[in-house]
Amino acid sequence: MEKKRIAVLGSTGSIGTQALEIISRHSGLFEVEVLTAQNQYQLLIEQSLKYKPNTVVIGSEKHYQIVNDVLAPQGIKVFAGSEALDQVVQMESIDMVLAAIVGFAGLSSVIKSLEARKPVALANKETLVVAGELISKLALENRTPIIPVDSEHSAIFQCLIGEHNNPIEKIYLTASGGPLRKFSSQEIKEVTRAQALKHPNWEMGAKITIDSASMMNKGLEAIEAKWLFDLAPDQIDVIIHPQSIIHSIVQFHDGSMKAQMGLPDMRLPIQYALGYPQRLPSPDGRFDFMDYPELSFEKPDLERFLNLRIAFEVMEKGGNMPCVMNAANEIAVEAFLHDRIKFPEMTFIIEKTLEKATFLPQGGYDEYVKSDRESREIARMLI
Ligand code: NAD
Ligand code: MG
């Protein structure tokens, strides 16, 4: 059997490194065709020497020379910059693109992948938040699948196998509640970066970890689900499930509910997306009922976690509003991570940016780029 040749975009990140682990485990099935990273050139070099990709892209041009000096003698092609990223995903030799860049920066390469009819294993949820309509259209027109990597969406995707013509009544996205689940509003005001970065169940990149603490992550995921599964906002519900064992639930129109369960470990949804439609064996830990004699559920608190409410409002409003929200959130999270603003000020910045940014009921890629830029400027001024 031919090996599936994979482009790992964002290979130095939390998802990227775990994906490489999966590829190593199943080296008879997968091989690495492309690796890309923004700044971590040393890790990118290390990965390239190990996985021997055909081509490597280092986003930050100042690191090009050193990466090229080491890898060119190995016969590995090296490029730099964001345009190179858009070009490499179209390489003939790629069978699948794993989109694991964080933020708006990952959008363009997903568009190019779909245009080149490369199946996309999608971790980068911001892509669907910003441009869900455009991305869904491209996937449809090019008859190219998007397979979700986000654990909740992977769960729903798995629950929908074999249910092709059966209408979904609603879905329940589960949320751990994050590290601040039990903090009072007063305590949330004074939350430090270290506290917010301490996720109870998952180890992830810094941006998504802060998004989890503020519940923006679940808001982004609701919008992601809307586009992936063609749902109306009122078909999407969020339920707090602190153990993160049930990864999400689909309820059909006969009232039946299907859930996907497992230990919280991103390697499972990553492997599922890479191997789809095949389930591959995994040596990772197994769920033991006696370790979790109780699975519990709570209603999300929209007073303490305003971001979740904002995301649902923005989803209703549509147009470029999710793009504006995403941009403001990226700027706000970055500022919080640099101790420039307090935790609740992230919400303030998002709300104000949504008020001030130009509303566009419809748009294509160029409009999203413009709107993203305008929103970032507004958000920066607010800081
Ligand atoms: P991360 O910060 O650990 O890694 C991000 C990767 O993207 C790095 O390889 C980095 O070099 C690259 N990158 C960053 N900025 C870039 C830019 N401007 N241009 C090109 N490349 C750039 O992030 P992560 O936690 O791996 O998350 C990646 C994506 O997957 C995010 O969209 C996140 O929401 C989603 N996701 C992550 C997890 C998780 O467990 N980490 C779970 C579900 C979804
Ligand atoms: Mg998730």
- Between the CA of 233 and the centroid of ligand 1 the distance, in Å, is 26
* Cα 358 to the center of its chain, rounded Å: 26
Are 49 and 177 contained in the same domain?
Answer: no
- Between the CA of 166 and the centroid of ligand 1 the distance, in Å, is 34
Q: Which pLDDT score is estimated for 202?
A: 86
Are 126 and 8 contained in the same domain?
Answer: yes
Side-chain half-sphere of 181: how many Cα atoms within 13 Å? 19
User: Average pLDDT by consecutive 10-residue portion of the chain (383 residues)?
Assistant: 95 98 98 98 98 98 98 98 98 98 98 98 98 98 98 98 96 97 96 94 94 98 98 98 98 98 98 98 97 97 97 98 98 98 98 98 95 98 97
Are 229 and 338 contained in the same domain?
Answer: no
Q: Which residues of 340-358 are buried (b: 16+ CB within 10 A; e: fewer)?
A: ebebbbbbebbbebbebbe
- Ligand closest to 100 (CA) is 1
Task: Write down the pTM of the prediction.
Answer: 0.98
- Between the CA of 43 and the centroid of ligand 1 the distance, in Å, is 15
259 - beta bridge partners? Answer: 249
Residue whose CA is closest, atom 16 of ligand 1? 38
Q: Which pLDDT score is estimated for 325?
A: 98
Side-chain half-sphere of 191: how many Cα atoms within 13 Å? 28
Residue 11 domain-assigned? yes
Neighbours of 49 (CB within 10 A): 12
Pocket of ligand 1 (CB under 6 A): 10-16, 37-40, 59, 100-102, 105, 123-126, 150, 202, 204-205, 207-208, 266
Q: Which of 280, 308, 336 is the last residue of a domain?
A: 308
Euclidean distance between CA atoms 19 and 271, whole angstroms: 7
Residue 313 domain-assigned? no
Pocket test for ligand 1, best of 8, 9, 15, 151 (most atoms within 8 A of CB): 15
- Between the CA of 108 and the centroid of ligand 1 the distance, in Å, is 14
CATH number for 131: 3.40.50.720
252 - beta bridge partners? Answer: 168
Are 297 and 333 contained in the same domain?
Answer: no
Q: Which pLDDT score is estimated for 1?
A: 74
Q: Which of 130, 148, 166 is the last residue of a domain?
A: 148
Residue whose CA is closest, atom 4 of ligand 1? 13
Euclidean distance between CA atoms 378 and 382, whole angstroms: 6
Are 240 and 355 contained in the same domain?
Answer: no
CATH number for 355: 1.10.1740.10
Pocket test for ligand 1, best of 98, 102, 211 (most atoms within 8 A of CB): 102
Are 123 and 201 contained in the same domain?
Answer: no
Are 33 and 112 contained in the same domain?
Answer: yes
For the residues of 99-145, what is the DSSP string, one character each?
E---SGGGHHHHHHHHHTT--EEE--HHHHHHHHHHHHHHHHHTT--
Neighbours of 381 (CB within 10 A): 11
Are 289 and 328 contained in the same domain?
Answer: no
What is the number of domains present in the chain? 3
**For residue 192, what are its two tokens?**
């430090």
Q: Which pLDDT score is estimated for 55?
A: 98
Residue 171 domain-assigned? yes
Are 197 and 142 contained in the same domain?
Answer: no
Are 144 and 237 contained in the same domain?
Answer: no
Q: Which residues surround ligand 2, an ion (CB under 5 A)?
A: 150-152
- Between the CA of 268 and the centroid of ligand 1 the distance, in Å, is 17
Domain residues for 25? 4-148
* Ligand 1 atom nearest to 85, measured from its CA: 20
Are 298 and 185 contained in the same domain?
Answer: yes
Are 328 and 198 contained in the same domain?
Answer: no
